[in-house]
């Protein structure tokens, strides 16, 4: 517990009128307009970040969760006050939700800094919202506890279990390959998202929920309960009660999100076969605390951490099955010896103590034992080479084994627009063993690093039954996608990283086992091509957030955060491996 003599409750963070007594008097007068008593206003104030939005089905249960959190807060003697912040849904964010993640982090940070609250419950779930809130918590330093909305249930289409969004991509690919017709694609569209909640596979949202629990920022057992289960409401109530305790004890986020906790999160990311996006988000969260993630050390960690969770896209099952199998604790028990069990968590107990207290359910179907993994190494491998001097990654657990070592002719697309125009052209000169390259979809390039790294298989090859090809870009892909897809190539093409120098016809060599990604073109030829590039465009001088974004955005290995939001890094993780 850290002593804190700052004014508490309603007296905290007064509006500056030059007379503190008057500021409090005025504040109380206004809030009493909503019927509060002096007794209520004398309690610890627990803010609740309410991210409900009519555009966001992943947050469709937020109102119910707010009600349950409020009950928990009041049962513990606090005063709950919810307030709105930005809400982001993946499919309703133009040009991409990643472009807006830092805006949500700024909004959340400033709102929890500006308003009186002794602790805050951060409610969110969709891909960018949990990282944005944790980045905000790290920067604001106010006692914070995360609550996720929880996964949606899976659905059923013609007798087959389906769920967003791995199956969205699978059915769309089948439609492009003419394996299913117009009627079926319309029919399955009704079945993929049968309830509110976050995507039902181990995509970015589920991964971030598990990582938030693994790093101790959420209550134990709270990552996996489906959005529509009563469990989810009970977790919300407990979260509210816990928020009062962390307010009274003044538990700062930095005392939970320590190096040990973040290393636990990295370990869990690998063992989940989790989303590649989560690595960017963890890097951004850690960066706000002055901690760098060392990609080479992370890769060594990957080599000793098997994927054990049998969920799509790396495996077969859905989040509700992981919940039934004991939730994240089932995995933590399996990888116990690889974790820092002494890391403190938000309920005042260590990760090890929480594990001791959890019921161990053995379900080898959903969470495999260490000696029978889904994949022998971690889900993500880090690649290096002259094409990616500052690194690139591949989700090796979701890649095709026969393409893990492959050399092929590059077929280059210079932008998403170029890709959209030519990928399905019957005249496109492309063969199944070529390497598809997409440039200019990095943090600055698109801008906002869209999830366009999952380059579709050219229609004419899809129609011949080609299911996977090596694909390379400086962008991201959805955590729900699968394939032999190299992502986050850094530096990106838009700042003249080597990816900008690739021409159609060049040979690219990928060797995941050797962790290598090479462009087999002579150095003098690359130098000639570099000379011929157009100068990097300067950020526009007007344009609000866009200008801020283009001036400040960092590369993937730096978490795509804004430069000025990161203090000087003083520590590196993983520290041992």
Query: Looking at beta carbons only, is 200 or 264 nearer to ligand FES?
Result: 200
CA distance 405 to 58: 38
Instruction: Name the minimum Å distance from CB 542 to ligand FES.
Output: 32
Per-residue contact string for residues 8-47; x = within reach of ligand FES by CB under 6 A: ----------------------------------------
Instruction: Name the minimum Å distance from CB 98 to ligand FES.
Output: 13
Instruction: Name the minimum Å distance from CB 295 to ligand FES.
Output: 26
CA angle 455, 460, 466 (to 5 degrees): 65
Instruction: Name the minimum Å distance from CB 158 to ligand FES.
Output: 23
Query: Looking at beta carbons only, is 164 or 573 nearer to ligand FES?
Result: 164
In this chain, which stretch among 20-28, 69-77, 197-205, 437-445 interacts with ligand FES, using CB under 6 A? 197-205
68, 146, 198, 555: which one contacts ligand FES (CB under 6 A)?
198
Query: Looking at beta carbons only, is 209 or 243 nearer to ligand FES?
Result: 209
Query: Looking at beta carbons only, is 152 or 410 nearer to ligand FES?
Result: 152
In this chain, which stretch among 196-204, 240-248, 495-503, 551-559 interacts with ligand FES, using CB under 6 A? 196-204
Residues 387-446 that bind ligand FES (CB under 6 A): none
Residue 162 is a binding residue for ligand FES (CB under 6 A): no
Interface with ligand FES: number of residues (CB under 6 A): 11
Considering only the C-alpha atoms of the chain, give the largest distance between any 2 of them, rounded to a whole number of Å.
76
**CA 32 to the chain's CA centroid:** 39
Instruction: Name the minimum Å distance from CB 332 to ligand FES.
Output: 23
In this chain, which stretch among 26-34, 199-207, 294-302, 314-322 interacts with ligand FES, using CB under 6 A? 199-207
Quote the strand ranges of 10-87, DSSP E. Answer: 45-50, 79-84
Residues 45, 9: contact at Cβ < 8 Å? yes
Beta bridge partners of 79: 45
Residues 210, 242: contact at Cβ < 8 Å? no
Residues 239-258 that bind ligand FES (CB under 6 A): none
**CA 527 to the chain's CA centroid:** 36
Query: Looking at beta carbons only, is 90 or 474 nearer to ligand FES?
Result: 90
Instruction: Name the minimum Å distance from CB 45 to ligand FES.
Output: 30
- If DSSP codes are grouped into helix, strand and coil, which group holds residue 572? strand
117, 130, 188, 205: which one contacts ligand FES (CB under 6 A)?
205
CA distance 116 to 199: 34
CA distance 519 to 36: 66
Length of the chain measured in residues: 577
- How many CA atoms within 13 Å lie on the side-chain side of 398? 32
Query: Looking at beta carbons only, is 314 or 439 nearer to ligand FES?
Result: 314
Residues 458, 423: contact at Cβ < 8 Å? yes
CA distance 451 to 57: 19
Residues 470-489 that bind ligand FES (CB under 6 A): none
**CA 323 to the chain's CA centroid:** 19
Quote the strand ranges of 220-335, DSSP E. Answer: 291-293
For residue 407 the two structure tokens come to 């050399």
Per-residue contact string for residues 87-126; x = within reach of ligand FES by CB under 6 A: --xx-----------------------------------x
Please give, one letter per residue, the 3-state secondary structure of 543-565: CHHHHHHHHHECCHHHCCCEHHH
Instruction: Name the minimum Å distance from CB 164 to ligand FES.
Output: 6
CA distance 571 to 569: 6
In this chain, which stretch among 198-206, 241-249, 255-263, 397-405 interacts with ligand FES, using CB under 6 A? 198-206
Instruction: Name the minimum Å distance from CB 93 to ligand FES.
Output: 10
Residues 480, 453: contact at Cβ < 8 Å? no
41, 45, 199, 392: which one contacts ligand FES (CB under 6 A)?
199
203, 220, 306, 574: which one contacts ligand FES (CB under 6 A)?
203
Residue 210 is a binding residue for ligand FES (CB under 6 A): no
Residues 11, 24: contact at Cβ < 8 Å? yes
Query: Looking at beta carbons only, is 19 or 63 nearer to ligand FES?
Result: 63
CA distance 406 to 218: 42
- If DSSP codes are grouped into helix, strand and coil, which group holds residue 336? helix
In this chain, which stretch among 195-203, 211-219, 496-504, 540-548 interacts with ligand FES, using CB under 6 A? 195-203
Instruction: Name the minimum Å distance from CB 559 to ligand FES.
Output: 20
58, 244, 262, 437: which one contacts ligand FES (CB under 6 A)?
58
**CA 25 to the chain's CA centroid:** 42
CA distance 495 to 297: 26
Instruction: Order the strands of the 144-148 sheet from edge to edge.
Output: 79-84, 45-50, 119-124, 144-148
Instruction: Name the minimum Å distance from CB 367 to ligand FES.
Output: 21
Instruction: Name the minimum Å distance from CB 452 to ligand FES.
Output: 16
Give the torsion sign (CA, 29, 30, 34, 36): negative
Query: Looking at beta carbons only, is 90 or 237 nearer to ligand FES?
Result: 90
For residue 500 the two structure tokens come to 């900008």
Residues 312-371 that bind ligand FES (CB under 6 A): none
**Helix axes 97-114 and 129-140, enclosed angle (nearest 10):** 40
Instruction: Name the minimum Å distance from CB 202 to ligand FES.
Output: 11
Residues 170, 398: contact at Cβ < 8 Å? no
Q: How many CB atoms sit inside 10 A of residue 539's CB?
A: 15
127, 242, 451, 561: which one contacts ligand FES (CB under 6 A)?
127
Instruction: Name the minimum Å distance from CB 471 to ligand FES.
Output: 21
Query: Looking at beta carbons only, is 82 or 127 nearer to ligand FES?
Result: 127
Instruction: Name the minimum Å distance from CB 374 to ligand FES.
Output: 21
In the complex, which residues of this chain contact ligand FES (CB under 6 A)? 58, 89-90, 126-127, 164-165, 198-199, 203, 205
């Amino acid at each position: 517990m850290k002593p804190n003599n700052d004014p508490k409750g309603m007296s905290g963070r007064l509006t500056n009128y030059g007379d503190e007594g008057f500021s409090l008097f005025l504040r109380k007068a206004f809030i009493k307009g909503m019927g509060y008593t002096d007794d209520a206003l004398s309690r610890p104030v627990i803010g609740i970040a309410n991210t409900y939005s009519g555009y966001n089905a992943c947050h469709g249960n937020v109102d119910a969760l707010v009600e349950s959190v409020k009950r928990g807060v009041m049962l513990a003697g606090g005063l709950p006050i919810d307030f709105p912040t930005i809400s982001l849904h993946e499919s309703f964010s133009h040009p991409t939700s990643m472009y807006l993640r830092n805006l949500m982090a700024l909004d959340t940070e400033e709102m929890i800094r500006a308003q009186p609250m002794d602790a805050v419950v951060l409610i969110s779930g969709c891909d960018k919202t949990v990282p944005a809130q944790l980045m905000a918590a790290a920067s604001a330093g106010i006692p914070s506890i995360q609550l996720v909305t929880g996964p949606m249930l899976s659905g059923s289409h013609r007798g087959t279990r389906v769920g967003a969004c791995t199956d969205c991509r699978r059915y769309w690919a089948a439609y492009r390959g003419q394996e299913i017709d117009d009627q079926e694609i319309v029919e399955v569209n009704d079945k993929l998202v049968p309830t509110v909640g976050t995507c039902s596979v181990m995509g970015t949202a589920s991964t971030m929920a598990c990582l938030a629990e693994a790093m101790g920022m959420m209550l134990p057992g709270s990552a996996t309960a489906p959005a529509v289960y009563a469990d989810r409401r009970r977790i919300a109530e407990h979260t509210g009660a816990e928020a009062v305790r962390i307010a009274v004890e003044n538990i700062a986020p930095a005392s939970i999100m320590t190096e040990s906790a973040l290393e636990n999160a990295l370990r869990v990311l690998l063992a989940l076969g989790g989303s590649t996006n989560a690595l960017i988000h963890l890097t951004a969260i850690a960066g706000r605390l002055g901690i760098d993630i060392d990609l080479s050390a992370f890769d060594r960690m990957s080599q000793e951490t098997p994927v054990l969770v049998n969920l799509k896209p790396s495996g077969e099952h859905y989040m509700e099955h992981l919940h039934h199998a004991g939730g994240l604790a089932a995995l933590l028990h399996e990888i116990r010896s690889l974790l820092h069990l002494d890391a403190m968590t938000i309920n005042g107990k260590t990760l090890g103590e929480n594990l001791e207290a959890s019921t161990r359910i053995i379900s080898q179907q959903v969470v495999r034992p260490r000696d029978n993994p889904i994949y022998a190494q971690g889900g993500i491998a880090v690649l290096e080479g002259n094409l990616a001097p500052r690194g690139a990654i591949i989700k090796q657990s979701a890649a095709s084994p026969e393409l893990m070592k492959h050399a092929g002719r590059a077929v280059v697309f210079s932008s998403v627009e170029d890709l959209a125009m030519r990928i399905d052209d019957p005249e496109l000169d492309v063969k199944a063993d070529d390497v598809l390259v997409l440039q200019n979809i990095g943090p600055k390039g698109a801008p906002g690093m869209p999830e366009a790294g999952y380059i579709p298989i050219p229609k004419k090859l899809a129609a011949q039954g080609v299911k996977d090809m090596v694909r390379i870009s400086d962008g991201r892909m959805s955590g729900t996608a699968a394939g032999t897809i190299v992502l986050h190539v850094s530096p990106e093409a838009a700042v003249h990283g080597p990816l900008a120098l690739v021409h159609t016809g060049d040979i690219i060599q990928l060797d995941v086992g050797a962790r290598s990604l090479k462009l087999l073109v002579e150095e003098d030829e690359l130098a000639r091509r570099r000379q011929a590039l157009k100068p990097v465009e300067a950020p526009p001088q007007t344009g609000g957030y866009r200008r801020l974004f283009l001036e400040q955005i960092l590369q993937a290995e730096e978490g795509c955060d804004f430069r000025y939001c990161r203090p000087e890094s003083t520590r590196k993780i993983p520290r041992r491996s």
